[in-house]
Amino acid sequence: MARQELHIHLVSDSTGETVHQITRACLAQFPDADVTEHVWTLVRTDEHLELMFTGLMRNPGILLMSIIDKDMRDKIEARCKKMGIPAVSVLDSVVNLLASVLGQAQQNLPGGQRQINSAYFARVAAVDFAVSHDDGMNMGNLAEADILIVGISRTSKTPTSMYLAHRGYKVANYALVPGVPFPAHYLDGLDLFTVGLTNDPKRLSAIRKTRQIAMLDNENKTYADIGAIEEEAKEARRLFNRSGWPVIDVTRRSVEETAAAIIQLHTNWRESNA
Amino acid sequence: MARQELHIHLVSDSTGETVHQITRACLAQFPDADVTEHVWTLVRTDEHLELMFTGLMRNPGILLMSIIDKDMRDKIEARCKKMGIPAVSVLDSVVNLLASVLGQAQQNLPGGQRQINSAYFARVAAVDFAVSHDDGMNMGNLAEADILIVGISRTSKTPTSMYLAHRGYKVANYALVPGVPFPAHYLDGLDLFTVGLTNDPKRLSAIRKTRQIAMLDNENKTYADIGAIEEEAKEARRLFNRSGWPVIDVTRRSVEETAAAIIQLHTNWRESNA
């Protein structure tokens, strides 16, 4: 099939993050499409609208918008109709549903700035929490955590924690060390969702060898040794089983997929505890 | 107005990031709503669907979904209709538009995994680039960059670069130091979009004082001195004007807003150069 070029104009009265995310998710369904994105952010004035329309005329295609102000949305729709440009207001279906079930009108907050900021600060707090509770730090202070991740070395604990923090979860992680028992007393009296991560020993050995070469470490012979790693992984599994923690094998998962699996387990745990 | 409690079930066959982002953006319009989110990720099997429906029956409300597989989407819609649960498939309007303008059917890729992964790797590459080009590092290697940010100390250059990297832009940043001329020769022969950041001298002085206290730095008297900062800011503005770079005052902006303004300037620059 010949590749077609499509210009997509993403128009937002705020940072454009939402319309960008939606576009990325939808374009994943059309891998053959050859797309050029034109990102118009913070569009809040008529002057800015004119600038955007000039760009749209130069490279016509489609327009996807996340614009709260109804007047501005109407203006864009009218103009696009005249130009023959298909335009979709991406949040309309959800906002309309919310307005009807909540029985209240939307507030027309420009860019929804207030809540976006509070969501932003919650995310910043979650990221701070992940940074200060990485790799066994501050284990005495887990009461605030939503999730604890436990796993042996190189099972993506830190990037997974960071991704979950970006989604708003407060996550601590603890790296199991061979021969050192897990300090279970930190969990006493807490009702904390905990998950164990494992990885295929063969893959772990390969990852660790690469890492040792990069770090010029010739000292630690057991770190990448397959027999030792198998024993280490078995010991971790025994701990997970004994503690009744769910286990995720990260072998063929991206960080995002591991995080999604943890969110799902956390939901199941919370729903069945509710 | 009395606060109403609404249960929102977010259902995704993938990581749930998109439906989460859409929900957050829409809820910003209803600051009085008291919402409990139930996040169901990686929903790809009938067993998982049943688990989700059990949760939905326990806490009825509304359902927002990002599900690619048509059969599964139909199942969810039919069941919700029977239960009297309003359900919206959040990407439908955009996917339908893309299908019609591209003249091709969507590919029903489970979770759009392929492209999500390639977008994910592009983002990882952009973050790596931002880390290795932070604060004047590797200025000899700007040919690959999309954006260069120049500013005096404490104008949020690093967090802004990181946020832009998350959006997929390759960003380098350079901190201006009083009395040291900007090394303009690094830009020779490059057609690189460059933006200058400034901040209100009074606010800068306050921020820097706090930072000095945190770092126990009593040596550097001029760092937080208002007169010295005013001179430093003036010198920066002279450089920005002379070079013809657009300038953003970050004083009352969040990192996300500064980044959105940079994206907009970058779009304008690219569109007028096209």
Same domain? For A150 and A266 the reply is: yes
Residues B102, B149 within the same domain: no
Angstrom distance (rounded) from CA B189 to CA A266: 53
Q: Is residue A197 part of a domain?
A: yes
Task: In whole angstroms, give the CA distance from residue A168 to residue B6.
Answer: 19
Residue A65 and residue A178 in one domain: no
For residue B115, is pLDDT > 60? no
Residue B75 placed within a domain: yes
Q: Is residue B214 part of a domain?
A: yes
Contact check, Cβ <8 Å, B62/A32: no
Residues B172 and B44 in one domain: no
**B174 within 8 A of B162, measured Cβ to Cβ:** no
Confidence band (pLDDT; 50, 70, 90) for A219? low
Residue A165: which CATH number? 3.40.50.300
DSSP codes of every residue in B224-238: T-HHHHHHHHHHHHH
Which residue is it, tokens 């709503």? B33
Would the pLDDT of A226 be above 90?
Answer: no
The answer, for A95 touching chain B at a CB cutoff of 8 Å, is yes
**What is the average pLDDT value for chain A, to the nearest integer?**
86
Asked if pLDDT for residue A74 goes beyond 90, the answer is: yes
Contact B26 A55 (CB under 8 A): no
Q: How far apart are CA B166 and CA B187, in angstroms?
A: 24
Q: Same domain, yes or no, for B31 and B126?
A: no
Between A206 and A77, name the one with better pLDDT: A77
What number is the average pLDDT over the span B243-269? 90
Tell which of A108, A139, A171 closes a domain.
A108
pLDDT band at B114 (very low <50, low <70, confident <90, very high): very low
CB contact under 8 A, B98 and A33: yes
Q: How many Cβ contacts (< 8 angstroms) between chains A and B?
A: 226
Give residue A108's pLDDT. 60
The whole-angstrom distance between A180's CA and the closest CA on chain B is: 34
Q: Nearest CA to CA, how far is A51 from chain B (Å)?
A: 8
In this predicted structure, what is the pLDDT of residue A112? 47
Q: Which residues contact A203 (CB under 8 A, 6 or more apart)?
A: A251
Is 90 exceeded by the pLDDT of residue A34?
Answer: no
What is the structure's pLDDT at A170? 94
d(CA B120, CA A166): 14
> pLDDT higher for B111 or B236?
B236
d(CA B21, CA A167): 9
Domain for residue B113, yes or no?
Answer: no
CB A257 within 8 A of CB A164: no
Say if the Cβ atoms of A16 and B263 lie within 8 Å.
yes
Long-range contacts formed by B48-53: CB under 8 A, 24+ apart: B49/B75, B49/B76, B51/A268, B52/B9, B52/B11, B53/B79, B53/B83
Label residue A106 by pLDDT band (50, 70, 90). low
Segment A178-186 shows an average pLDDT of: 91
Let me know if residue A165 belongs to a domain: yes
Of A15, A88, A257, the CB nearest to B94: A88
Helix spans in chain A (H): 17-27, 46-58, 70-83, 92-102, 113-132, 157-166, 201-214, 226-243, 255-273
Residues of B in contact with A94 (CB under 8 A): 22-23, 26, 64, 88, 90
pLDDT in the model for residue B229: 87
What string of DSSP letters covers A60-106? -SEEEEE---HHHHHHHHHHHHHHT--EEETTHHHHHHHHHHHTS--
Closest C-alpha to A11, from A68, A57, A58: A68
Collect all residues of chain A within an 8 Å Cβ-Cβ radius of residue B93: 88, 90, 92-93
Query: Does position A3 have pLDDT exceeding 60, yes or no?
Result: no
Chain B residues touching A93 at Cβ < 8 A: 88, 90, 92-93
Provide CB contacts within 8 A for A169, sequence distance 6+.
Answer: A126, A146, A147, A263, A266
Task: Indicate whether A134 and A267 sit together in one domain.
Answer: yes
| Residue B115 domain-assigned (yes or no) | no
B273 in contact with chain A, both atoms CB, cutoff 8 A = no
Q: Which residue has better confidence, A38 or A256? A: A38
Place of tokens 């499509």: A6
What pLDDT was estimated at residue B102? Answer: 85
Whole-angstrom distance, CA of residue B42 vs CA of residue A261? 7
Whether residue B1 has pLDDT greater than 80: no
Q: Which of B88, B36, B86, B47 is nearest to A271 (CA)?
A: B36
A94–B260 C-beta distance less than 8 A: no
Does B57 share its domain with B169? no
pLDDT band at B126 (very low <50, low <70, confident <90, very high): confident
Under DSSP, is residue A175 helix (H, G, I), strand (E, B) or coil? strand
Residues B147 and B266 sit within 8 Å (Cβ to Cβ): yes
pLDDT (0 to 100) of residue A4:
61
Predicted local confidence at residue A204, as pLDDT = 80
A10 with A88, same domain: the answer is yes
In a domain, B77, yes or no: yes
Query: Does the beta carbon of B124 lie under 8 angstroms from any beta carbon of chain A?
Result: no
DSSP string for chain B? ----EEEEEEEESS-SHHHHHHHHHHHTT-TT-EEEEEEE-S--SHHHHHHHHHHHHHS-SEEEEE---HHHHHHHHHHHHHHT--EEETTHHHHHHHHHHHTS-----GGGHHHHHHHHHHHHHHHHHHHHTGGGTTGGG-TT-SEEEEEETTS-HHHHHHHHHHTT--EEEEEE-TTPPP-GGGGTT---EEEEEE--HHHHHHHHHHHHHHHT--S-SSTT-HHHHHHHHHHHHHHHHHHT--EEE-TT--HHHHHHHHHHHHHHHHHHH-
What's the one-letter identity of residue A87?
A
Least confident of B29-33, B78-82, B172-176: B29-33
Q: What's the pLDDT band for B112 if we cut at 50, 70, 90?
A: very low
Consult the annotation and say whether B152 binds a ligand.
yes
Domain count, chain B: 2
Say if residue B12 is in the same domain as residue B98.
yes
**Range scoring the smallest mean pLDDT among A35-39, A94-98, A100-104, B167-171:** A100-104
Q: Do A116 and B4 touch (CB under 8 A)?
A: no
The letter for the amino acid at B68 is I
A88 at B interface, C-beta within 8 A: yes
Q: Which of B14, B29, B268 sits opposite A112 (nearest CB)?
A: B29
- Whole-number Å distance between alpha carbons of B210 and B228: 17
- Domain shared by A43 and A14, yes or no: yes
Instruction: Please indicate if the annotation marks B66 as binding a ligand.
Output: no
Question: Percentage of chain A surpassing pLDDT 90?
Answer: 44
pLDDT at A113 over 50: no
Reference A228, options A247, A209, A214, A253; nearest CA is A209
Under the banding of pLDDT at 50, 70 and 90, the label for residue A73 is very high
- Whether the pLDDT of residue A115 is over 60: the answer is no
Name the 3-class secondary structure at A180: coil
Report the relative pairing of strands B247-249 and A62-66 from DSSP bridges. unpaired
Check: CB of residue B35 under 8 Å from CB of residue B64.
no
B158 touching A (Cβ < 8 Å): no
Apex B19 CA angle, A38 and B51, nearest 5: 160
User: A10 touching B, CB under 8 A?
Assistant: no
Contact A194, A146 (CB under 8 A): no
* Residues in contact with A119: Cβ distance below 8 Å, sequence separation at least 6, in sequence order: A168, B24, B28
Instruction: Please state the ipTM of this predicted complex.
Output: 0.73
In this prediction, residue B107 has a pLDDT band, given cuts at 50, 70 and 90, of low
Measure Cα distances from A235 to A42, A175, A195, A231, B68 in Å.
Answer: 53, 13, 15, 6, 39
Decide if B114 is inside a domain: no
Cβ density class B165-202: b for 16+ within 10 Å, e for less: bebbbbbbbbbbeeeeebeeebeeeeeebbbbbbbebe
Task: Indicate the residue among B84, B108, B132 that finishes a domain.
Answer: B108
Token pair for A249: 């094998």
What is the model's pLDDT at position B99?
A: 87
Q: What is the pLDDT of residues B29-63, one digit of tens each?
A: 888 888 899 999 989 999 999 999 999 999 999 99
In this prediction, residue B274 has a pLDDT band, given cuts at 50, 70 and 90, of low
Residues of A in contact with B114 (CB under 8 A): 28, 31
Please give the average per-residue pLDDT across B183-204, as a whole number. Answer: 92
Q: How far is B31 from chain A (nearest CA, A)?
A: 7
Tell me, yes or no, whether A189 and A228 share the same domain.
yes
Range of the domain at B104: 5-108
For residues B136 and B77, state if they share a domain: no
For residue A57, give the CATH number of its domain.
Answer: 3.40.50
Q: Is B103 marked within a binding site? A: no
User: Coil, helix or strand for A152?
Assistant: strand
